[in-house]
Amino acid sequence: MQDVSPGHARASARAVFLSYASEDVAAAERIATSLRDAGIDVWFDQSELRGGEAWDASIRKRIKTCALFVPVISANAHARAEGYFRLEWKLAIDRSYLMASDQAFLLPVAIDDTPQSDERIPDRLREVQWSSLPAGKVSATFIERLLRVLAPQAPNEPGVPRMSALPVSEGTRATRYATLGSRRLGYLAILVIIVGLGGYFALDRFMAPTQAPGSGAIYTGAQSAATRGDTNIFTPPAHSIAVLSFVNMSGDKEQEYFSDGLTEEILNSLARINELQVAARTSAFSFKGKDVKVGTVGRELNVGAVLEGSVRRSARTVRITAQLINTITGFHLWSQTYDRDLGDILKVQTEIADAVAGALKVRLLGDTAAKIELGGTHDPNALDAYLRGLKASSTAHDATELQRAIDAYTEAARIDPNYALALASRSIALSTRGAYYSTGPGSGLRPIFEQARTDAQKAISLAPELADGHLARASVLEFGSLDFAGASEEYQRAMSLAPGNAQVAQAYGRLAVHIGHVDTGIAAVRHAVLLDPLNPTAHRLLTALLYDARRFSEAIEISQATLTLDPENTWVLGIRGIAYYSLGEYQSARATCEKFPGKPNYHINVCLALSYHKLGKQADAEAALEALKAAGGDAMAYQYTEIYAQWGNTARALDWLETALRLRDPGLSGLRSDPLMDPLRKESRYQAVDRALKFPI
């Protein structure tokens, strides 16, 4: 690869615009993921709501500013003479005619055997060479050449030709995409130099926002500084913001739940504005009580602005002071103090959201107040109870702590029976308890999920556009009814309503992988990690899904992000250990899962039962299984199935699998994707259970 010196690097931070026909979304998504993994910024619009003045203006701007335009060529594309992707092609072709003849801009990729001579493809695209990426599979060679195009030499440099297009054939090297991981750091280092020289230091010139799939989604390769190990450049996405925990000025530490909860509500209000990218609560609140500079927060969370403030509460009123700061310049963009009755909190949230959007020069689409105040309450006592529930939910690590949140939400719903947000939150907490914290006979889960179902249905009837209600109903359908088709529809609905909600993206992504939509699911969870980069749980889920996708080495690599944030996270240690086991590295699996013997969980116990068995320590393996049974009873039927399947005891494994089905074990959600179940898949009894679960196609 050619050297890139500071004097010659020239590339936009807005790197690649990926354009495709809707039928080719899977291949396009595969390309986008590969480019992002290599550190290349990608605009990848998955919106099904294309069209209209706002969309046209946005797309025109992106095509005007991107460094490279990559049209995806296929039978679907060449057979259609119209479609919004064709408008994108026209805009890009028009721009290409205005550029220097030796400047690479149009880089078509063919994902099938469409010939370059096909006359249904625009002439301009047939004039430049195509790259062949069958089904969207990207090679390391293609990545390397793309990076070279992004970093051409100076036009007058002697002896070095400018690159005008990518060659058609990718077969001239034996390099496989599997080698990309070992080269990734080198590519990222080059991108650091290139993007760092772009000079994008004004707030209104940041990169396009990273949003979620299914909702006008646009992906970039942007990561937090902590994740990418980069301390020299800082080009956060446009209109990106973090809301730091507001300081409790009430003089009573017991009132901290109120200031924290109110901050979270303001954060959620901003997240409901699709035009903003808002860092999730866990990451934003990780700076609470720390003397950290705004610039550091911006780099850690990859945001261009920070909202901070204070809350002073009295018996009937509240004073909220808020200020918005540019994380690059350190300058204040806006500040305001609000003195209101407690019953007017919803209106204050709307006022703050409108003011922040205005300061960030965001053009709001639709009724902001309707989005923000949806499902809320004007009763100060109901609000107080709800905020106590939020606080308890955010710190819950076991069933007892989670029950405190459920009790607080119950009080809020009693005070205001039409408080849809409280009902949805209680439903989600109940489903979480049933899915992750229940022990004993499986029949004990039924009343928990029935209450969760009732709450979710009422929340949706009160506020049909409230994403939390659809998230709640999806959780009940997935874990309480094992209705994966219905759950998938509800998760998708929640995603369309709240594209900037990291919790929704995680839940959607998890089920998507479990039902076979692996690329879509992992992309959604990667997006959640971008929104919540300092949340170990988000990284842990990505680890688990990479494991489910049988990308074991990558899962082990990603697990380190969780352990860096939370070194004693035994949940991710268990997943990491099972990944080592699946690679045949049994000693590593054992050592990983023995690390914190006093903090077992079902992942750890499964890991030890499997690795001890392979190492010939059957007595220790049996002890790990018995520990799991003592802790979980029949509620761990799915985990017993995994263990017996890997031990080669097919009959007992199938017995427990059928028990899991009878008890409606929530673990069955992952049956199809679970590598540990592979020994059973050809068994007729396994196939009967699989059919009974009615996984969507």
Residue 120 is predicted with a pLDDT of 82
The yes or no reply on domain 542-697 and CATH 1.25.40.10 is yes
What residues does CATH 3.40.50.10610 cover in the chain?
240-368
Q: How far apart are CA 514 and CA 505, in angstroms?
A: 14
DSSP summary character for residue 677: G
> Could you report the per-residue pLDDT of 424-452, keeping only the tens digit for each?
999 999 998 888 776 554 456 788 999 99
Sole residue written with tokens 């990983």: 592
pLDDT mean across residues, the chain: 81
Q: How many Cβ atoms are within 10 Å of 334's Cβ, its own excluded?
A: 16
Q: Give the rounded distance of the alpha carbon of 514 from its chain centre.
A: 15
Judged by DSSP in three states, 278 sits in strand
Q: How far apart are CA 610 and CA 586, in angstroms?
A: 9
Asked if residue 516 has pLDDT above 50, the reply is: yes
Residue 44 is predicted with a pLDDT of 73
Q: How far apart are CA 256 and CA 247, in angstroms?
A: 8
Q: Provide the edge-to-edge strand list for the sheet that holds 42-44.
A: 42-44, 16-19, 68-73, 109-110, 131-132
Q: What is the average pLDDT across 681-696?
A: 96
* Cβ contact 695:484 at 8 Å: yes
Q: 3-state secondary structure string, 446-493?
A: HHHHHHHHHHHHHHHHHCCCCHHHHHHHHHHHHHHCCCHHHHHHHHHH
pLDDT band at 50 (very low <50, low <70, confident <90, very high): very low
Region of residue 24 (phi > 0: left; psi between -120 and 50: alpha; otherwise: beta) = alpha
Which range among 190-199, 603-612, 662-671 has the greatest average pLDDT? 603-612
The residues facing 68 across adjacent strands are 16
Read off the tokens for 498: 């709240």
Residue 278 is predicted with a pLDDT of 95
> Could you report the per-residue pLDDT of 17-30, keeping only the tens digit for each?
988 887 788 888 88
Q: How many Cβ atoms are within 10 Å of 176's Cβ, its own excluded?
A: 10
> Could you report the per-residue pLDDT of 202-238, keeping only the tens digit for each?
323 222 333 333 332 322 333 444 444 444 568 888 8
Q: Where is average pLDDT lowest: 215-224, 306-315, 488-497?
A: 215-224
pLDDT band at 395 (very low <50, low <70, confident <90, very high): confident
Asked if residue 76 has pLDDT above 90, the reply is: no
Q: How many Cβ atoms are within 10 Å of 341's Cβ, its own excluded?
A: 13
Residue 178 is predicted with a pLDDT of 31
What residues does CATH 1.25.40.10 cover in the chain?
375-534, 542-697
In 264-344 the beta strands, taken as DSSP E runs, fall at: 277-278, 305-313, 317-326, 332-341
> Could you report the per-residue pLDDT of 124-138, keeping only the tens digit for each?
888 788 888 888 888
The structure's pTM equals 0.67
Query: Under CATH, which number does the domain 375-534 receive?
Result: 1.25.40.10
Asked if residue 152 has pLDDT above 50, the reply is: no
Query: Under CATH, which number does the domain 240-368 receive?
Result: 3.40.50.10610
Q: How many Cβ atoms are within 10 Å of 135's Cβ, its own excluded?
A: 12
Amino acid 80 reads R
Residue 409 is predicted with a pLDDT of 97
Judged by DSSP in three states, 330 sits in coil
Please say whether the dihedral angle defined by the alpha carbons of residues 439, 441, 444 and 449, taken in this order, is positive or negative: positive
DSSP summary character for residue 476: I
Q: How far apart are CA 225 and CA 290, in angstroms?
A: 18
> Could you report the per-residue pLDDT of 77-133, keeping only the tens digit for each?
766 655 667 778 888 887 877 765 556 788 899 998 888 888 788 888 887 888 888
Residue 314 is predicted with a pLDDT of 85
